[in-house]
């Protein structure tokens, strides 16, 4: 065990020294992580929604080495390059018709910051600077930077510590927790009362990820968008977790073909190889925004753009819809029956996402060690034991994940 790691390096949402040791990964291949001590585990997390094609993929490796021999990075201020141009063209092509302008950032949180800034600058330049608040549904997660934190669930969003420092926005009922009609009524009341001060609504379409792994009726999106339009509030969709096939559609917004004014992409954008995100918007908004006051040092990094181009091509040329439908069938077949288990509160499945909500908090270290013994890597949090595997996983490998989930629930 590496005590330097434990005593000197922060891990996500962890303290130093960390009471739970981090497992060291020596290499990774396909859906497998090779840990030290000759342990090999199936990554049921896709490294947090991102490695959709698995690890060490020859096509993605090749894209990176080809680009590496040309240049790994150049500043994007005043310079441009083919990998970014090609990627922007592709993103404009595969996202809704109305989205035609692309802003690249180096992480999902920063893509959300850029989206919020676009909305603020838009209204400022329309001489409606009073529209400087945001509205969102409860149970959301949009990242860890300050703007993004301010629109995460105020209670469950891991950021209540900062509630005194964060700007206060409007939180309305989520269709994942109350009926769609009740959620829409709450949205309408709040918009009626406060739209003079609201720049935009931001939400994750269909699946709320790190804020609670909840799924809701896509029809909500159509109706929420209409209400926003009626009250002159921009509509921002955060597809950072749901994008690139995860829910069974290429983008979750396609369940109802809703056109957001602004769209955030990240995570699986590069197939999980490098950090890259993008914020897309319309002609009209881009014109109103004018000079967007943002410009990360590593904006549109050529290596990241190259591997994103290769990853999207690989995805679109694969039978991804069939693969995800097959994953959904196995997850439903194996996990749905857990609903009646006395330690299980709920089971939620959509596309390549399987969530088991338990009735009690999970002892992460204990459960994780048990899972590793069964050859599986999952990262439970709170009461949630869940998987979102690479799309390339075989049925046998997926059955090992569902079997391990069932065993650890039995052993709780």
* Residue stretches of the annotated binding site for substrate: 48, 141, 267, 295, 379
Least distance to ligand PLP, CB of residue 6, Å:
23
Q: Which of 32, 55, 122, 141 is catalytic?
A: 141
Task: Judge whether 216 counts as a catalytic residue.
Answer: no
Which tokens belong to 361? 């908090």
Beta bridge partners of residue 282, listed in sequence order: none
Active site residue 238: yes
Closest distance to ligand PLP from the beta carbon of 293 (Å)? 19
Cβ atoms < 10 Å from Cβ of 280: 28
Closest to ligand PLP by CB, 143 vs 389, is 143
**Which CB atom, from 241 or from 408, has the smaller least distance to ligand PLP?**
241
Could you please report the per-residue DSSP string of 364-392? HHHHHHHHHHTTEE---BTTEEEE---TT
Closer to ligand PLP by Cβ: residue 46 or 195: 46
In the bound complex, what is the minimum distance in angstroms from residue 238's beta carbon to ligand PLP? 5
Residues at the binding site are 48, 108-109, 141, 238, 267, 295-297, 379
Per CB under 6 A, residues contacting ligand PLP are 107-109, 112, 141-143, 204, 209-210, 238, 240-241, 266-267
Binding residue ranges for pyridoxal 5'-phosphate: 108-109, 238, 296-297
- Give catalytic status of residue 255 as yes or no: no
The rounded distance, in Å, linking the Cα atoms of 182 and 208 is 18
Which residue, judged by CB position, is nearest to ligand PLP in the bound state? Answer: 108
CB of 270 to ligand PLP, least distance (A): 11
Catalytic, out of 13, 37, 38, 93: 13
Half-sphere exposure of 319 (CA within 13 A, CB side): 6
* Residue closer to ligand PLP, measured from CB, 112 or 344: 112
- Yes or no: say if 268 and 391 are a contact pair by the CB < 8 Å rule: no
Q: What's the token pair of residue 199?
A: 């720049």
User: Looking at 43, 106, 153, 238, which residue is catalytic?
Assistant: 238
Partnered with residue 264 across adjacent β-strands are: 238, 279
> Using CA atoms, how far apart are residues 204 and 208, in angstroms rounded to an integer?
6
Q: Is 13 a catalytic residue?
A: yes
Secondary structure (3-state) at 41: strand
CB atoms within 10 A of CB 118: 27
Q: Which residues are tagged catalytic?
A: 13, 141, 238, 267
């Amino acid at each position: 065990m590496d005590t330097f790691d434990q005593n000197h390096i922060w891990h996500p949402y962890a303290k130093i020294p960390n009471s739970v040791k981090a497992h060291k990964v020596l290499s990774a291949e396909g859906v497998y992580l090779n840990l030290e001590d000759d342990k090999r585990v199936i990554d049921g997390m896709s490294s947090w929604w991102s490695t959709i094609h698995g690890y060490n993929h020859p096509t993605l490796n090749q894209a990176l080495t080809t680009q590496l021999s040309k240049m790994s990075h150049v500043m994007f201020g005043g310079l441009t390059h083919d990998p970014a141009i090609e990627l922007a063209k592709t993103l404009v092509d595969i996202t809704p018709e109305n989205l035609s302008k692309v802003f690249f950032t180096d992480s999902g949180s920063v893509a959300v910051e850029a989206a919020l800034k676009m909305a603020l600058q838009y209204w400022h330049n329309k001489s409606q600077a009073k529209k400087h608040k945001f509205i969102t549904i409860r149970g959301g997660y949009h990242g860890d930077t300050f703007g993004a934190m301010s629109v995460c669930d105020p209670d469950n969003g891991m950021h209540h510590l900062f509630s005194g420092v964060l700007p206060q926005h409007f939180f309305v009922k989520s269709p994942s927790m109350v009926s769609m009609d009740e959620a829409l009524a709450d949205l309408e009341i709040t918009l009626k009362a406060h739209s003079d001060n609201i720049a935009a609504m931001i939400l994750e379409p269909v699946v709320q990820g790190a804020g609670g792994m909840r799924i809701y009726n896509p029809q909500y999106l159509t109706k929420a968008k209409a209400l926003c339009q009626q009250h002159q509030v921009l509509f921002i969709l955060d597809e950072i977790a749901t994008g690139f096939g995860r829910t069974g559609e290429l983008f979750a917004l396609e369940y109802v073909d809703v056109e957001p004014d602004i769209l955030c992409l990240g995570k699986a954008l590069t197939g999980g190889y490098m950090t890259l995100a993008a914020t897309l918007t319309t002609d009209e908004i881009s014109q109103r925004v004018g000079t967007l006051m943002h410009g990360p040092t590593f904006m549109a990094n050529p290596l990241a753009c190259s591997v994103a181009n290769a990853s999207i091509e690989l995805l679109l040329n694969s039978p991804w819809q069939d693969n995800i439908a097959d994953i959904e069938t196995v997850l439903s077949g194996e996990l749905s029956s857990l609903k009646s288990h006395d330690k299980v509160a709920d089971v939620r499945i959509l596309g390549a996402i399987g969530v088991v909500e338990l009735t009690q908090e999970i002892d992460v270290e204990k459960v994780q060690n048990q899972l590793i013994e069964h050859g599986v890597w999952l990262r439970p949090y709170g009461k949630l034991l869940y998987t979102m595997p690479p799309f390339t996983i075989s049925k046998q490998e997926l059955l090992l994940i569902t079997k391990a989930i069932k065993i650890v629930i039995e052993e709780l």
